[in-house]
Amino acid sequence: MNAHPEGVAVALSFFVINYWIMKKTKEKYKYIILVRHGEPNNPKKIVYNLDEVMKKEDIIHITVDGKKQLRALGKVINQKKFRVVRIRYSNQIRAVESALEINKALKVKDAKVEPRLRDVYAPGGYLERMTMDELKRQPGNIYNRSRWRKYHHETPESIIKRFDDVFQETKNNLKSDETAILLSHGDPIAWWINFKVMNKLPDSKQLRNLIYPVQGQGLMVVLDSENKIIKHYYLKDPELLLGKSY
């Protein structure tokens, strides 16, 4: 006797659904953690910029607490079982020191400087000896062309482009279930992630009120098997010592 057509259809539907569930369950992801450098040692409270812009005595290092922030973040990444295979970091001293500290926990062999992860070229505040308090009243907006035109500050489009180039190269070289770290600075990370989320340039005056990592914070970006971003979130743990926005 032939099976009832409706029974066959139901059985087939269950098969398809179960196959889809099993496929999704077995799907492997890629992970890229965007990390901001640790707390800066800035006793003069000046607006700092790229190392090459500043006098040698003004170049920013990270504090003892800044080092602890990165070591704690590395420990949490290990505890959460992320398999970090690659670290790329900005060529600025504060980022180089941060990469060294996080790698004390992770012990990744493939850790290299990546100049495209550098901070924004915006020398105006430093050259005018602006204080951090004055910058906060801007609020933090170094992209107003009428104000900063003569210093030729880097544009948001340029920042996003160079950061995205590194991100694309990184994800394409990752295998399933592998993790990479891109260690950079607050503004470059914020411009890139907010542009990706909003699919348009965010308002520069609102940048620090959007997705904006504080010092020593890690922002996880998860990609599916087709290299598409499916979610992002901050790594959170009681052991993490989070810094400030400025």
pLDDT digits (tens, 9 = 90+) for 191-203: 999 999 999 999 9
pLDDT of residue 155: 98
Q: Is 8 helix (H, G, I), strand (E, B) or coil?
A: helix
pTM check: above 0.85: yes
pLDDT of residue 178: 98
User: Which of 27, 30, 77 is CA-nearest to residue 178?
Assistant: 30
In a domain, 51, yes or no: no
In a domain, 100, yes or no: yes
- Token pair 């409706």 is at which residue? 6
In a domain, 5, yes or no: no
CATH code (residue 208): 3.40.50.1240
In a domain, 167, yes or no: yes
In a domain, 146, yes or no: no
In a domain, 169, yes or no: yes
In a domain, 21, yes or no: no
Which parts of the chain sit beneath pLDDT 70?
1-26
pLDDT of residue 19: 47
pLDDT of residue 22: 42
CA distance 182 to 199: 21
CA distance 99 to 90: 9
pLDDT of residue 66: 98
70 is in which domain, residue-wise? 28-44+59-119+154-234
pLDDT of residue 67: 98
In whole angstroms, how far apart are CA 187 and each of 7, 109, 194?
Answer: 59, 28, 10
- Domains: count for the chain: 1
Please, what is the Cα angle at 219 between 41 and 96, to 5 degrees? Answer: 40
In a domain, 37, yes or no: yes
CA distance 178 to 85: 7
